Amino acid sequence: MHALRLTACIFGMLFFWTSRASTWVVCPDCELSSIREAIQRAAPHDTLLIKAGTYLEYDIRIDKPLTLLGQDRPVIDGQKKGEIVTILADSVTLEGLSIRHVGVSYTTDYAAIRVVKRKHFRIRDIDMEDLFFGIYLEKAQQGEVTGNRIRGQAREEYNSGNGIQLWYCKDVQVGENEVSGMRDGIYLEFSDRIRIQNNRSMNNLRYGLHFMFSNDDSYTGNRFESNGAGVAVMFSKNIKMQGNTFRKNWGTASFGLLLKEINDAEISGNTFEENTVGISIEGSNRIEYLRNDFAGNGWAIKVRGACYANTFRANNFLNNSFDLAYNSKVNDNRFEQNYWSNYTGYDLDRDGVGDVPYRPVKLFSYIVNRTPETIVLLRSLFMELIDFSEKVSPVFTPDNLQDERPLMKRVHDRG
């Protein structure tokens, strides 16, 4: 961290030397003790070096390209009076600050940091606590939000905000952030070409990550744990989802990943572990599910409504209570060469592929769909018996729904 800060300083100084910009030192005992005042005095491309201490300021408007650099993590305390930092100019960098006590309002979405219609912003290494909204990007472009820690204490959805919100944004990188205790961890609405990488979104009230009407985005290597629900992707196109971990999204109607009205996507190399539902799919077509792990979920995959031409290949289904739930008798999706830990077939020709097909939909899962209370009979002998009879001669479940070539060993190469 020190090395990082040092290099940042060196770069800052180089920048300052080449552009002949100057550095303003702000500290509680200095001549310059107010950030707001420092911004007024500074010229474009100057650097404000903010030293350790607490600054009781809010509504700080940065209206020229500046770099605000915290030294030994200074604290900006908004005293719950409103928004704290608003970026109204291009090329603004914020780094190494701690921001607290954002005002809560039912009419205005106060944020710790807001960017309004600007480009080339960089928000790095900021600690945020006691928030309404965390980072709010409004029609912003080509910026980055990296390495921030956003900790809220949301209890109800109606009076809490999102950790990182992107609204009508383009080409923004969101990486290595930690968001917890907010409404949605990361929320995208009408935002395109956003890259979301290696974030951790945990213990948020609603979703860990939420897409609405956003296209050509990607999220990779993120971890979503113990949220109301993991990730919801709704009404969006061409979203790349790879190498994420969805864990412990427990509870009524909770899920690891929800796909609603999503077409043409690839979901690969993800891990779904101990969720009530691993992936819940509604009205989504032509999606490829490759090399994902589904382990210890209530339902690994729940298919609702019309879903066509989806392919599930080389996934591992490990000890889920139900591998698959289907609410219709029609099937147009393909299951090929997955590993199913519940598979009881054999491989006489030793080619690594089971000789009898696997039927992932159990009659019991069909019954539970109809009458949820029957879940209390999970794993009872009676249920195993009727599941077995359904397996032998399918009556209620789609009879072409099967993996013709189930793997005998789990897929290890998940690259």
Partner 1 sequence: MLKILKYSFYDLMRSRWSYVYFLFYLALGFVLLFLNNDLSKAVITLMNIIVVLVPLIGTIFGIMYYYNSREFTELLLALPVRRSSIFLGQYFGVAGSLSLSLLLGLGIPFAAYGLFRSGAVWDFGLLLVTGAFLTLIFTALSFNIALANENRIKGFGYAVLLWLLLAVIYDGLFLLSLILLEEYPLDNFSLAATLLNPVDLSRTLILLKLDISALMGYTGAVFKEFFGTHMGLLVSLGALVLWTCLPIWRLAVRCRKQDF
H helix or E strand, kind and range, residue 8: helix 2-18
Helical H segments across 122-259, by residue range: none
Q: Which amino acid would we find at residue 414?
A: R
Q: Using the rule CB under 8 A, is 251 a contact of partner 1? A: yes
Q: Using the rule CB under 8 A, is 412 a contact of partner 1? A: no
Q: Using the rule CB under 8 A, is 384 a contact of partner 1? A: yes
Binding mask 3-42 for partner 1 (x = CB under 8 A): ----------------------------------------
Q: Using the rule CB under 8 A, is 160 a contact of partner 1? A: no
Q: Using the rule CB under 8 A, is 298 a contact of partner 1? A: yes
Number of residues that bind partner 1 (CB under 8 A): 32
* From candidates 1, 3, 348, 381, binder to partner 1 by CB under 8 A: 381
Q: Using the rule CB under 8 A, is 383 a contact of partner 1? A: yes
Query: Burial of 371 by CB count in 10 Å (0-12 exposed, 13-18 middle, 19+ buried)?
Result: exposed
Q: Shortest CA distance to 122 belongs to which of 57, 69, 44?
A: 69
Strand ranges inside 213-362, DSSP E: 218-220, 223-225, 229-234, 240-242, 245-247, 257-260, 263-268, 271-273, 277-282, 285-290, 293-295, 299-304, 311-313, 316-318, 322-326, 334-336, 339-340
How near is the Cβ of 341 to partner 1 at its closest, in Å?
Answer: 6
| CA–CA gap between residue 224 and residue 183 (Å, rounded) | 14
Which part of the chain contacts partner 1 (CB under 8 A), choosing from 87-95, 188-196, 328-336, 376-384? 376-384
Looking up tokens 């001549």 gives 31
Nearer to partner 1 by C-beta: 155 or 370?
370
Q: Using the rule CB under 8 A, is 253 a contact of partner 1? A: yes
Q: Using the rule CB under 8 A, is 382 a contact of partner 1? A: yes
DSSP structure class, residue 372: G
246 neighbors 224 (Cβ within 8 angstroms): yes
Q: What phi, psi does 152 have (nearest 5°)?
A: -105, -175
* From candidates 52, 378, 388, 400, binder to partner 1 by CB under 8 A: 378
Q: Using the rule CB under 8 A, is 252 a contact of partner 1? A: yes
Q: Residue 101 — left, alpha, or beta (φ > 0 → left; ψ -120 to 50 → alpha)?
A: left
Which part of the chain contacts partner 1 (CB under 8 A), choosing from 49-57, 68-76, 351-359, 381-389? 381-389
**On the CB side of 133, how many CA atoms lie within 13 Å of its CA?**
25
Q: Using the rule CB under 8 A, is 275 a contact of partner 1? A: yes
Q: Using the rule CB under 8 A, is 377 a contact of partner 1? A: yes
How near is the Cβ of 347 to partner 1 at its closest, in Å?
Answer: 16
Token couple for 334: 């393909």
Which part of the chain contacts partner 1 (CB under 8 A), choosing from 3-11, 170-178, 265-273, 274-282? 274-282
| CA–CA gap between residue 336 and residue 403 (Å, rounded) | 5
Which part of the chain contacts partner 1 (CB under 8 A), choosing from 13-21, 167-175, 238-246, 295-303? 295-303
Q: Using the rule CB under 8 A, is 373 a contact of partner 1? A: yes
Q: Using the rule CB under 8 A, is 341 a contact of partner 1? A: yes
Contacting positions for partner 1 (CB under 8 A): 250-254, 274-276, 296-298, 319, 321, 341, 367-368, 370-385
